[in-house]
A and B are shown apart, each in its own frame.
Chain A
Amino acid sequence: MPLHLLFKSLQRRKVVTTLLLVQLAMTFALLLNSILLAQQTRQQLQQPTGLPLQQTLQVQLKPTTVALRQYPALGDLLTRQLEAIRTVPGVVAVAYSNQGPLLYGGNNGNVHDPDREELSKANGVPLYTVSADFFNVLQLPPLAGELPQNEIAVDGLAKSPVVITQSLANKVFDDKPAVGRQVNRGPVAAVVADFYGQRSAGTVNYNAIQVAPLYGVDWGYSILLRTEHGSTDKVRQALPQVLQQVDSNIEIFYIRTLAEQQQRLYSNEFGLASLLSLLSALMLLVSMISSYSNAYFHTLKHQQEIGIKRALGASKSRIFTELLSENWLTTVLGATAGVGCALVLNQVLAQVISIPSLSWWLPLLTYTVLLLCVTVATWYPATIATRISPATATKAL
Chain B
Amino acid sequence: MEQLFYYLKVSWFSIKRAPLPYMLTVLILSLGLGVFFSNATFYYRMNSDPLPDKSDKLFFPMMMLVPYQCSDCKAPPVLSYSNVAKLAASDIPSARAAMYSADGYLRQHAAQPPTPVTVRITQRDFFSMFDVPLLHGTIWPDNQARDELLLSKATAEKILGRTDVVGQQLLLDDRLFTIIGVLDDWQMLPKLYDAYNRQYLNPAEDIYLPLESGYDYNYLSNNNSSTYDDADYRKLATDGRTKAIHQLQYWVQLDTPAQQQAYRQFMANLVTDEKAAGRHPSPEANQLVMLRDIVRYFGGESADIKAFAIVTLLFLLVSVFNASHLSLNRYLSNQYEFSLRRALGANRSQLQMQLLVDMGLMSTFTLAGAAVIAYGCTKLMNSLWPANRLFASWDVQLMLALAVLTLFCSYLVTLYPSLRASFGSLNKQLKE
Contact = CB atoms under 8 A, between A and B. Distances in A.
B312 A279 contact: yes
A26 interface: yes
Contacts of A290: 322, 325-326
B4 to A, nearest CB: 30
A271 B333 CA distance: 42
A30 interface: yes
Size range of the interface on A? Answer: 35 or more
B10 interface: no
B308 A275 contact: yes
B35 A20 contact: no
Contact of A26 (B21, B105, B318, B324): B318
B307 A353 contact: yes
B310 to A, nearest CB: 6
Contacts of A20: 325
Interface in A296-318: 297, 300-301
Contacts of A274: 384
Given A19-B328, A219-B222, A293-B24, A65 B233 contact: no
B306 to A, nearest CB: 5
A293 B329 contact: yes
Size range of the interface on B? Answer: 35 or more
Contacts of A286: 28, 31, 318-319, 322
Judged by DSSP, the binding face of B is helix
B337 interface: no
A149 to B, nearest CB: 26
Contacts of B317: 26
B416 A15 contact: yes
A193 B62 CA distance: 40
Contacts of A105: 197
Given A30-B311, A216-B234, A276-B311, A16 B304 contact: no
Judged by DSSP, the binding face of A is helix
A287 B28 CA distance: 10
B234 A215 contact: yes
B114 interface: yes
A66 B174 contact: yes
A103 to B, nearest CB: 13
Contacts of B325: 16, 19-20, 23, 290, 293-294
Given A271-B385, A293-B326, A345 B314 contact: yes
Contact of B314 (A16, A29, A216, A267): A29
B116 interface: yes
A251 B315 contact: no
Contacts of B157: none
A289 B303 contact: no
A114 to B, nearest CB: 15
Interface in B309-363: 310-312, 314-315, 317-319, 321-322, 324-326, 328-329, 332-333
B40 interface: no
Nearest to A108: B226
A349 interface: yes
Contacts of B24: 289, 293
Given A216-B233, A345-B310, A271 B332 contact: no
B311 A352 contact: no
Contacts of A64: 105, 114, 116
Given A282-B35, A286-B28, A30 B314 contact: yes
B293 interface: no
A67 interface: yes
B324 to A, nearest CB: 6
B88 interface: no
Contact of A293 (B21, B31, B310, B311): B21
A271 B304 contact: yes
B273 interface: no
A297 to B, nearest CB: 4
Contacts of B333: 297, 300
B232 interface: yes
Contact of B315 (A62, A270, A279, A297): A279
- Give the most central of A279, A283, A286: most B CB within 10 Å: A286
A271 B384 contact: yes
- Give the most central of B28, B31, B321: most A CB within 10 Å: B321
B31 A16 contact: no
Contacts of A146: none
Interface string A260-285: 00000001101110111011001100
Interface in B228-262: 232-234
B403 interface: no
A22 interface: yes
Interface in B264-314: 303-304, 306-308, 310-312, 314
Contacts of A275: 308, 380-381, 384
A271 B307 CA distance: 12
Given A65-B173, A297-B332, A297-B333, 10 more contacts: A26-B314, A26-B321, A279-B35, A286-B319, A293-B326, A294-B325, A345-B311, A352-B303, A353-B304, A353-B306
Interface of B: 21, 24, 28, 31, 35, 103, 105, 114, 116, 173-175, 197, 218-220, 222, 232-234, 303-304, 306-308, 310-312, 314-315, 317-319, 321-322, 324-326, 328-329, 332-333, 380-381, 384-385, 416
13 contacts: A16-B325, A23-B321, A64-B116, A65-B174, A215-B234, A251-B105, A251-B116, A268-B304, A271-B381, A275-B380, A279-B35, A279-B312, A290-B325
Interface of A: 15-16, 19-20, 22-23, 26-27, 29-30, 33, 62, 64-67, 105, 155, 215-216, 218-219, 249, 251, 267-268, 270-272, 274-276, 278-279, 282-283, 286-287, 289-290, 293-294, 297, 300-301, 345, 348-349, 352-353
Closest 10 CB pairs of A and B: A271-B384, A19-B325, A297-B329, A64-B114, A352-B306, A64-B105, A218-B220, A353-B307, A26-B318, A272-B304
